[in-house]
Amino acid sequence: MIRHKKNAVEINKSVLSALYIIYLFIIRMRFDKLKKQLELLILLSDGRNYTVEELCERMNLSRRNFYYLLDFIKHAGFIVFKNQGYYHIDRRSPFFTQLLQTIQFTNQDVKTIHSVLTIAGNDSEMVNQLREKLENTYNFSVSINSPIHKQMDSNIKLLRKAMAEKKTVRLIGYSSPHSHTLKDRIVEPYLLLNNNEDVRCHELVSKQNKTFKISRMEGVEILDSPWLHEDKHRQMFTDIFMFSSEERYRVKLHLGQLSHNLFKEEYPQGTHYLTPNEDGSWLLDIEVCDYRGLGRFVLGLFKDIEIIEGDGFKKYMREEIKSLINSLNLQ
């Protein structure tokens, strides 16, 4: 009986030992798998591009195991790009976005930085490295090499040169959706706008300052003619409501507590236009490029706002209210 119990204990110990060894083996496998997953993430996000062969060689993996790990990474929410046989992870994948949201550049920031680096040319090795790193990290590789981008890049460089030399240019084959035309425009370019997507010019035929989309130009030709209408070139302004114009209009409003609070919440960049009054109300003294932005704000809170100054704005508001009454059949 005692010998039987002793044998049972020895068997139980053997089973436990075997189970423990299996447990350690499983843990080891899990750690090895996790290690490979992290290793692949690091390689795919280091700013370089790798082929399948290069990745398998670096990680000592078979193709089958590589694709297994790649599939896992994709299902985990990482955005994996393959371009001409080369793989990399987009830094805008949800994981990186959450990890770096406090310091990560916005898309507009990245486009602006890349545009500046592109305009700087290829003479500086440091500039070339920074530009290449941005293109790899933010997946610009496809769009950067597209014919449209190359044409825009050429147009921007020629426009900058013309502005520096104060020369007239021909906008070749400009496509206008407003006039439904495709024709050349003779202009004096003097200001690039909106992250170099637009250019402000004085058009000789219409004798007006206009904004032209650089992407709608088939090309730019610098002419021998110098600027003849520089006195008509005007600076463009953008107000806090994101309307742009060469002209600005001053308006003064008397705001109550509600309209004051909502103005600060909706337009925090405009708080310096506010001045407190002794009675607890606020004076909004502001310049706008278009009445529509400010008008929308006033119409929504008209019971808490008084127009103190701005005849043009008063006229605009009367017309808007009249139009509103007619459209709603309130007469």
Q: Domain limits of the chain?
A: 2-96, 107-144, 147-235, 238-327
Residue 115 has pLDDT above 90, yes or no: no
DSSP state of 236: -
Once rounded to an integer, what is the mean pLDDT over residues 26-39?
60
pTM over 0.85? The answer is no
- Confidence band (pLDDT; 50, 70, 90) for 145? low
pLDDT for the residue 199: 92
Once rounded to an integer, what is the mean pLDDT over residues 28-41?
64
* Top-confidence range, 42-56, 212-226, 232-246: 212-226
Residue 258 has pLDDT above 90, yes or no: yes
Q: For the chain, how many residues are written?
A: 331
Q: What percent of the chain has pLDDT over 90?
A: 37
- Confidence band (pLDDT; 50, 70, 90) for 236? confident
d(CA 292, CA 313): 9
Q: Cβ–Cβ contacts within 10 Å for residue 58, how many?
A: 12
pLDDT for the residue 54: 85
Fold of 238-327: Alpha-Beta Plaits (3.30.70)
Q: How far is CA 222 from CA 126, 210, 218, in A?
A: 30, 18, 14
Sorted by sequence, the CB contacts under 8 Å of residue 36 that are 6+ apart come out as 59, 61, 65, 69
Q: Tens digit of pLDDT for each residue in 265-304?
A: 999 888 999 999 999 999 999 999 999 999 999 999 999 9
Task: Enumerate the β-bridge partners of residue 80.
Answer: 89
Q: How far is CA 203 from CA 9, 24, 215, in A?
A: 99, 78, 18
Residue 130 has pLDDT above 80, yes or no: no
Tokens 């308006």, residue located: 251
Once rounded to an integer, what is the mean pLDDT over residues 84-93?
71
Chain-centre distance for alpha carbon 27: 44
Q: Tens digit of pLDDT for each residue in 41-59?
A: 777 776 667 888 888 888 8
Q: And the tokens for 148?
A: 């449209």
Region of poorest pLDDT, from 17-26, 88-97, 192-201: 17-26
Residue 7 has pLDDT above 50, yes or no: no
d(CA 70, CA 47): 17
Position with higher pLDDT, 41 vs 200 = 200
Fold of 2-96: Arc Repressor Mutant, subunit A (1.10.10)
Domains 2-96 and 147-235 share a fold: no
Q: Cβ–Cβ contacts within 10 Å for residue 267, how many?
A: 17
Once rounded to an integer, what is the mean pLDDT over residues 15-39?
55
Task: Enumerate the β-bridge partners of residue 276.
Answer: 282
Domain at 147-235: CATH architecture: Roll (2.30)
- Confidence band (pLDDT; 50, 70, 90) for 188? very high
